[in-house]
Every structure is written in structure tokens, then in C-alpha cells.
Amino acid sequence: MIELDNLSSSDIPISILKPKHPGETPGFAENEIVKGKVLKVIDSETAILLINGRNFTARTQIPLSAGDILALKVKELLPVPVLRAMSIQYARPETANISVILSALKENLWKSVFEKINNVGGSATERALWSKIVEDLPRKLLNEGKPESLLKMIDRSGIFWESKLKKVSEQNPVDGKQIRQLIDSDLKGLLSKLISKTEGGDVQTGRLLSAVKNLQILDRLGLERDQKIFIPLPVQLPDGHFIIIQLLFQIPRKEKEDSEKSAGDRQSLKISVLLELSRIGPIRADFTVKGKKIDGMFKVAGQDTLELFESSIPEFVKNLEDKGFEIRHIGCLIKEPEIVSQPLVREIIQAADCNIDMVV
């Protein structure tokens, strides 16, 4: 079930679809919790809901499909009933094809497509845009250490493409220039554009686009089940080495009383990072962040890498402390290479929700 924050976009004005007589009331009580089933979707902002045995026309910005079940709280009764969506249980969730994702990671399709665009297949504009996604932002992150650069990298990863496109397309009138700029600044938008330019589509570009689509499905399922999101970020390092930084977030569930809790009583944010460098091999880092307190553990595959990290941890800790964090523990362990390099995406896979066609 997807829980929704209390945002204005989750407010749903409703009206009785076919009132039996003039002035018929819906029979709700303020702050009452009711369940609604989506019977039919009329358009992108209108649906027919079945609530307490009666049909209602609902106006909402939440993407819905027939069969979805919503938990709704009665927010207002007059002049029209307004219900606030608290959670959604999707009727038939899509399944993510994990083999497509694992193959893309193993073959580093991001690198293959980037090289094709950068060398022969892309215009000067497209080369510049891809360079910004995989070179400029990572360079700023590495050199300046600013969280804003990481947030921009995640935003442009393709994971949120439909949400951004929907927001722009809802403007009246629709701004074509803004949509083109959006396409050129998002990985999924750019992949779709490249495929549309070639008859039949480029095979590697098509495979990468499919991987991004399946990642979106997997993240929706992971967020619904246990608040986990997996994001791969393509990065070209200053030495020319092209890597994929894998990120796995486990976001604490938002509780109603969280605003009243102290930072020490709130749930922890868990972050895992996996990357492989040409000279020192695979590196995994697992961090737990609770307020300003951080615990962390690096896992590496060789003694030389262990010694390098152990000597660098004091400086790493100092940098975090200079940013206002309290470091409780940061350590480093040696593990077998196959353990360290295990793709993080596997940690949000459950057979019931995903389609695994092969082992890679």
C-alpha cells in the first residue's frame, strides 16, 4: 500500500453520480475514514469511486486505475465533500523484469549508449546534454561535495520522468519549449527522443530505456512494500573511467506524531552505496542516519584497499563533523569480492512482485 503525505494534491472533491432526489447528501461525517474503490477512470483528473455502496464522481490529480482501493479521510463537508487520500492499494501492480535491470548493470549499458552518442550517434546538443548528466554534475559532487549535485543527479536519472512530464503538461497552455527542455535534461526523456529519431530504434538505447522503465516499476513496489528505492547513477570520472554508482535508500515511514518527536526518537534513514573502481575494485558503504547522528561501514575486497580506507577514515569523519554531523562509528571490513559487488537492486526483489527470467 502506498502511503500519501498530506499534500493539497491528495484532496479529492466528490459529488453523487446519480442522486435519487434533489439535495441528497453523501452521508459522511467530518474526519471519518472511508474506503473507496475506483470503478472507472473518465480522464486524467476524473474517476468514478464506489464509497459505502454509492457511486461518486471524483476530481483528483492522483493517477488512478480501475480496481484501485483508496483509504480516504473526510476533510470537508461543505460546500462540497472533500476527501483526503491517505493511501492507495493498487489493483494489479505491474511486475518488474529483474533480468533486464541486472543485464543493464552488468553490461553497463549507460556507458555503451553514452559512447555511441558521444562518438558517432548524437548531435552536438545531445552530446553536451549527456556530458552534463554523466560528467559535469558528478565532477561538482566530487570536487565540491555539495548534496545539491547528488539531488540533481537523482532527479535526472529518469526515475521521475512521468511525474515531471505530467506537471508540465498540466499547464494551460502547455509550454512546448519547457517540455523540450525537460526532455533534454532527463535520462529517460533523452533515451525516448533518441529512439524516436531512428527507424526501429537503436538496440542498446532501447534496452537501456527498458531497464529504466523496469527500475521505475521496481521502485514503486519497493517503496510500497518496505520504503526502499534503488537508483543507478552513470558517472564518468576525471580519469575517463565510466562507472555506475548504485544507491539504495530505505526511507523511514512517516508517522503522524513524528513532528512531535525528538531527533533521537525518530526512525533512521538507511543509505547503501556500491561502486567499482578500476584500480581498487568494488566498494560498498552502508550508512544509517538518525537526525545528525551517523553510523557507517565500508566493505572492500582486498587488503590494500582496506588499508587505504582505514587511513582515510579520520579525514572522512572530520569532513562530516565539519558539516555538523555527529559520527558514532565508521569502520571498514574485508569481504569476498562476490559479496561486496552483489548488486544492491537484489535487496528489494521479492519473487511475488517481480519477474526473473534468467540469472546473470
Q: Where along the chain do the CATH 2.40.50 domains lie? A: 2-89
- Rg of the chain over CA atoms, in angstroms? 24
pLDDT-based confidence at 252, cuts 50/70/90? confident
What is the chain's length? 360
Q: What is the mean pLDDT of residues 330-358?
A: 76
Residue partners of 168: CB distance under 8 A and separation at least 6: 174, 175, 178, 179, 182
Query: Is the pLDDT score of 176 beyond 90?
Result: no
Query: Is the pLDDT score of 340 beyond 90?
Result: yes
Residue partners of 249: CB distance under 8 A and separation at least 6: 228, 229, 231, 269, 270, 271
pLDDT-based confidence at 93, cuts 50/70/90? low
CA pair distance 16, 30, nearest whole angstrom: 17
Strand order in the sheet with 242-250: 228-236, 242-250, 269-277, 281-290, 293-300, 326-334
Residue partners of 76: CB distance under 8 A and separation at least 6: 30, 82
Classify each residue of 99-113 as buried b or exposed e, where b means 16 or more C-beta atoms within 10 Å of its C-beta.
Answer: bbbbbbbeebbbbbb
CA pair distance 309, 27, nearest whole angstrom: 65
pLDDT-based confidence at 317, cuts 50/70/90? very high
pLDDT digits (tens, 9 = 90+) for 127-149: 777 777 676 666 666 666 666 77
Residue 268: which of 298, 231, 227, 297 has the closest Cα?
Answer: 227
Burial (CB < 10 A; 0-12, 13-18, 19+), residue 237, is middle
For the full predicted model, state whether its pTM sits above 0.75: no
Q: What pairing do the DSSP bridges indicate for beta strands 293-300 and 326-334?
A: parallel
Q: Which of 152-161, 200-209, 294-303 has maximum average pLDDT?
A: 294-303
Q: Provide the pLDDT for residue 42.
A: 86
Share of the chain above pLDDT 70, in %: 78
Helix (H) or strand (E) run with residue 197 in it: helix 187-197
CA atoms within 13 A on the CB side of 352: 4
Q: Provide the pLDDT for residue 341.
A: 92
Q: What is the mean pLDDT of residues 164-187?
A: 75
Query: Is the pLDDT score of 261 beyond 60?
Result: no
Question: What is the number of other CB atoms lying within 10 angstroms of the CB of residue 188?
Answer: 23
Q: Where are the beta strands (DSSP E) in 218-304?
A: 228-236, 242-250, 269-277, 281-290, 293-300
Q: What is the mean pLDDT of residues 218-240?
A: 83
Indicate the angle between helix axes 109-116 and 98-107, nearest 10 degrees.
Answer: 60
CATH number assigned to the domain covering 2-89? 2.40.50
Least confident of 66-75, 134-143, 287-296, 348-357: 348-357
Is the Cα dihedral 77, 82, 87, 90 positive or negative? Answer: positive
Q: Provide the pLDDT for residue 358.
A: 36
Q: What pairing do the DSSP bridges indicate for beta strands 54-59 and 11-16?
A: antiparallel
Query: Is the pLDDT score of 323 beyond 90?
Result: no
CA pair distance 6, 10, nearest whole angstrom: 7
Cell numbers describing residue 157: 536519472
Q: What is the mean pLDDT of the chain?
A: 80
CA pair distance 296, 289, nearest whole angstrom: 9
Query: Is the pLDDT score of 299 beyond 80?
Result: yes
Q: Cis check for the bond before 79: say yes or no (omega within 30 of 0).
A: yes
Ramachandran assignment for 314, one of left (phi > 0), alpha (psi -120 to 50 degrees), beta (any other): alpha
Residue 231 phi, psi dihedral angles, 5° rounding: -135, 120
Q: Provide the pLDDT for residue 5.
A: 45
pLDDT digits (tens, 9 = 90+) for 7-49: 445 678 888 777 766 766 778 888 899 999 999 888 767 889 9
